Amino acid sequence: MKQYDVIIIGSGQAGNPLARKMAKAGKKVAMIEKRLVGGTCINDGCTPTKAMVASARAAYLAGRCNNLGVHIDGYRVDMPQIKKRRDAIVEHSRSGNEKSLQDDPNIDLLMGEASFTGHKTVQVKLNAGGTEELQAGQIFIDAGTQPTVPDVEGLQEVGYLTSTTILDLDYVPEHILIIGGNYIALEYGQMFRRFGSQITILERGPRIMSHEDDDVATEIHKILEEEGIAIHGNSQAVRFEKDSNGKILATVNLNGKQEELNCSHILIAAGRVPQTKVLNLQATGVEVDEKGYIKVDDQLQTNMPGIYALGDIKGGPAFTHIAYNDFTIVYRNLLEGDNLTTAGRPVPYCMFTDPQLGRVGITETEARKQGLNIKVAVLKMENVARAVEVGETRGLMKAVVDADTKQILGAAILGEEGGEIMSVLQMAMEGGITHDRIRYCVFAHPTYSESLNNLFMKLDS
């Protein structure tokens, strides 16, 4: 049994930086990773998708730049080159992470699958063969999630793509049927539509982006439909089979009506599940919830002292910046004597469709449900000077404010660089800058942020 000060399971967005911090503090660290250093974000999440979104936007611009008075005589999408560029970006990031772990004399990087064998003992089934037994006083679980695949008749037989396997394609599929209507479905849907695929989205709930306000989700729906994406709410796949031409024949329930449609590929984007099963947590007594997410307190410690869970595997908002923030809370508490918690931390996020949806704080729906005394400001992007000048007038800016204190409670910015504009509002929220100050704040003209004046002007009474 090898002794360590620290064992980290999963080289994701929390695990990697934590390994380095712990090692720098003089601790002997075992980092266990079963797949690829860097986890989902770098290998099959944020990095590759956003690299491809950039290619998709270039295709979109090539197709419409005549609106700006620039004429291109045709263009061609080169998927092998798009893939090559993307893979190079991923490889650069992954190898940098790998090297920083390998070069650290206090870190042992073990490539293999970890599972608990006892209270603070872990077995690693090494990818190269054989096993190792490890023990440590502190264990950090950062094992993330994986795509969930619904149980639909014929799905296994006809085959399907997930957000991971779709990255293997080096051609443009003819017609992708996407199961799911959240951000992974929409980012991939718009991206492949712009590359030239026909896209059909089936969302089980009444509408896509179920967590967002109705007006925001409706606007996203409209934008995607205008680009030629077919979106069906209240809809599900019933059965899949291959037709006589070898194409996939899908029997679908579209809003109560059973229909058949052909597609060349199926993309499953119906959510993700925690990778807790293989961890054999019962051997150590760490509790999970009914969905398998590890239960933690607001300092990310499990019910077993000295065992922590960080990132997606503990449930809640599943974003890279949240996993990274978990890491900062844990190391500052354990190594720097802080007493930080996850309570009340902001949870901004951005959906990288084009235009982007930048979101922070509560929605209007949530605020009304809580019975808060609010005011709501909405400004269409077609009334934003910057948007008109650059020809990106789709979307809207929306903010929810406290009618009494004038504090900003939440915002949704659906527009070009919506994530950046949202971050300006997040800074205001964190600094307690009220909407009446932003209404008169001097911003450089003509930036998108300048239009925050106009957004909050809507609240002038």
Ligand X SMILES: Cc1cc2nc3c(=O)[nH]c(=O)nc-3n(C[C@H](O)[C@H](O)[C@H](O)COP(=O)(O)OP(=O)(O)OC[C@H]3O[C@@H](n4cnc5c(N)ncnc54)[C@H](O)[C@@H]3O)c2cc1C
Active site residues: 445
Residue 142, interface with ligand X (CB under 6 A)? Answer: yes
Q: From residue 234 to residue 273, what is the string marking binding to ligand X with x (rule CB under 6 A)? A: ----------------------------------------
Taking the C-alpha atoms of residue 405 and residue 373, their distance in angstroms, rounded to an integer, is 10
Q: Is 144 in the site for ligand X (CB under 6 A)?
A: yes
Instruction: For ligand X, give the closer residue by CB, 14 or 134.
Output: 14
Nearer to ligand X, 289 or 389 (CB): 289
Q: Does 11 bind ligand X (CB under 6 A)?
A: yes
CB of 277 to ligand X, least distance (A): 9
Tokens of 31: 């980092």
- Going through 127-192 in order, the beta strands assigned E by DSSP cover 131-141, 145-147, 161-162, 175-179
Residue 185 as a binder of ligand X (CB under 6 A): the answer is no
Q: Which residues of 352-391 are buried (b: 16+ CB within 10 A; e: fewer)?
A: bbbbbbbbbbbbbeebeeeebebbbbebbbeebebbeeee
Distance in Å, CB of 247 to ligand X, minimum: 26
Exposed e or buried b per residue across 32-52, where buried means at least 16 C-beta atoms within 10 angstroms of its C-beta: bbbbbbbbbbbbbbbbbbebb
Indicate whether 355 belongs to the interface with ligand X (CB under 6 A).
no
Q: Report which residue type is found at 2.
A: K
Would you state the structure tokens that stand for residue 12, as one six-digit string?
């994701």
Q: Which stretch binds ligand X (CB under 6 A): 132-140, 229-237, 275-283, 427-435?
A: 275-283
57 near ligand X (CB under 6 A)? no
Of 351 and 408, which has the nearer Cβ to ligand X? 351
Q: Hey, is 360 helix, strand or coil?
A: strand
Could you tell me where the beta strands, DSSP code E, fall in 209-291?
230-232, 235-242, 248-254, 257-263, 265-268, 272-274
For residue 45, state whether it binds ligand X (rule: CB under 6 A).
Answer: yes
- Using CB under 6 A, which of the segments 5-13, 292-300, 359-367, 424-432 binds ligand X? 5-13
Phi, psi of 89 (to 5 degrees): -65, -45
| Whether 6 contacts 26, CB under 8 Å | no
* CA 414 and chain centroid, separation: 17
As measured in angstroms, the least distance from the Cβ of 339 to ligand X is 23
What Å distances lie between residue 264 and 160, 171, 252, 340, 358, CA to CA?
A: 10, 12, 15, 50, 32
Residue 6 interacting with ligand X (CB under 6 A): no
Q: Which is nearer to ligand X, 11 or 451 (CB)?
A: 11
Out of 203, 213, 312, 364, point to the residue binding ligand X (CB under 6 A): 312
Rounded Cα gap, residues 106 and 4, in angstroms: 10
- What is the Cα–Cα distance from 103 to 166, expressed in whole angstroms? 33
Q: Is 39 in the site for ligand X (CB under 6 A)?
A: yes
Alpha carbons 199 and 175: distance in angstroms, whole number:
6
**Does 14 participate in binding ligand X (rule CB under 6 A)?**
yes
Stretch that binds ligand X, among 71-79, 127-135, 307-315, 368-376 (CB under 6 A): 307-315
Total of residues contacting ligand X (CB under 6 A): 36
82, two tokens: 């798009």
319 scored as a contact of ligand X (CB under 6 A): yes
314 or 439, CB closer to ligand X?
A: 314
Binding mask 373-412 for ligand X (x = CB under 6 A): ----------------------------------------
Instruction: Note the residues at the interface with ligand X (CB under 6 A).
Output: 9-15, 32-35, 39-41, 45-46, 49, 113-114, 142-144, 163, 184, 275, 278-279, 311-313, 318-321, 323, 352
